[in-house]
């Protein structure tokens, strides 16, 4: 499941976007300020596949927020949402590091098309950077072979793969994949077993770190 952060101070628009995107199968969290998003990204390690960022925000505006994230090497695709139609304003947003923009009032079909295009681009880049494994929806491709996984298995594998060589605790996996500490840690063990079974020899690279969690080597 793709995770999308919406940064929008207009509550009605924020809720509308959440309803639209949730209906399409995305996990969505709405923030009212750029500072709130930044705090969760850097203080609590929250991760997203896409950020929808309104330009006219209180405090740190959308352009400043985008520039702040890019300066700190955050590579998540950013879609700017703006009521400004002047070409110069769009150029400023793109120059600050945004990947695309949509002008309010926006059409739902256009918005979804742009979101999907950015998510496809993100996965293509990931696949290009790593020839070991390519994530493609509910499949992974390893050495040209397609393997079907569940959504949770995909998310667990992505986190381990993105932190290759570094142990990832079970608590971190529960928070990032299940959004809860109340789920039994045994759930993680079961998903790891399924991943190892499905991935064959590639799955042997998922190592148990006793007392901590798992790591991908």
Domain match, 44 and 104 both: yes
User: Token digits for 190?
Assistant: 């079961």
Residue 108's CATH number: 3.40.50.2300
Are 93 and 141 within one domain? no
Is 56 found in the same domain as 77?
yes
Residues 14, 95 within the same domain: yes
Q: Are 126 and 164 in contact (CB under 8 A)?
A: no
pLDDT in tens, the chain (217 residues): 789 999 999 999 999 999 999 999 999 999 999 999 999 888 776 788 899 999 989 999 999 999 999 888 788 899 998 876 655 566 776 778 888 888 888 899 999 999 998 888 765 444 444 556 777 777 888 877 889 999 899 989 988 888 888 888 888 888 888 877 778 888 999 999 999 999 988 899 999 988 888 998 8
pLDDT confidence of residue 85: 60
Are both 140 and 210 inside the same structural domain? yes
Boundary-marking domain end, from 126, 155, 175:
126
Judgement on whether residues 69 and 95 belong to the same structural domain of the protein? yes
Position 133 scores a pLDDT of 79
What gap in Å lies between CA 196 and CA 79, rounded to an integer?
A: 36
Domain count, the chain: 2
pLDDT in the model for residue 90: 63
CATH number at 190 reads 1.10.10.10
Domain encompassing residue 81 = 3-126
What pLDDT sits at residue 87?
56
142 and 122 within one domain: no
Confidence (pLDDT) at 123: 57
Choosing from 126, 160, 186, the residue where a domain stops is: 126
80-89 long-range contacts, CB within 8 A, separation 24+: 80/53, 80/54, 80/55, 81/8, 81/52, 81/53, 81/54, 81/55, 81/106, 82/54, 82/55, 82/56, 83/55, 83/56, 84/55, 84/56, 89/55
> Do residue 9 and residue 67 come from a single domain?
yes
State whether 98 and 48 are in the same domain.
Answer: yes
**62-71 helix and 87-95 helix, angle to the nearest 10 degrees:** 20
Looking at the fold, whether 112 and 30 belong to one and the same domain comes out as: yes
Do 50 and 154 fall within a single domain? no
Q: Identify whether residues 115 and 193 lie together within a single domain.
A: no
Q: Work out the number of other CB atoms within 10 angstroms of the CB of residue 136.
A: 14
Question: Which residue among 71, 96, 126 closes a domain?
Answer: 126
């Amino acid at each position: 499941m793709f995770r999308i952060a919406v940064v929008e101070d207009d509550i009605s628009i924020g809720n509308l976007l959440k309803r639209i995107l949730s209906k399409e199968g995305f996990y969505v969290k709405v923030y009212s300020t750029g500072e709130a998003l930044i705090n969760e990204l850097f203080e609590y390690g929250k991760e997203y596949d896409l950020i929808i960022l309104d330009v006219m925000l209180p405090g740190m505006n959308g352009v400043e927020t985008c520039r702040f994230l890019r300066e700190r090497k955050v590579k998540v695709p950013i879609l700017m949402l703006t009521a400004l139609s002047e070409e110069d304003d769009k150029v400023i947003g793109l120059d600050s590091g945004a990947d695309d923009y949509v002008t309010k009032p926006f059409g739902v079909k256009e918005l979804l098309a742009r979101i999907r295009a950015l998510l496809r681009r993100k996965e293509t880049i990931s696949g290009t950077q790593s020839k070991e494994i390519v994530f493609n929806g509910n499949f992974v491709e390893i050495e040209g072979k397609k393997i079907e996984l569940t959504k949770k298995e995909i998310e667990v594998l992505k986190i381990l793969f993105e932190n290759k060589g570094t142990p990832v605790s079970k608590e971190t996996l529960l928070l990032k994949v299940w959004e809860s500490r109340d789920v039994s840690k045994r759930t993680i063990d079961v998903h790891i077993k399924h991943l190892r079974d499905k991935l064959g020899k590639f799955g042997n690279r998922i190592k148990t770190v006793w007392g901590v969690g798992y790591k991908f080597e």
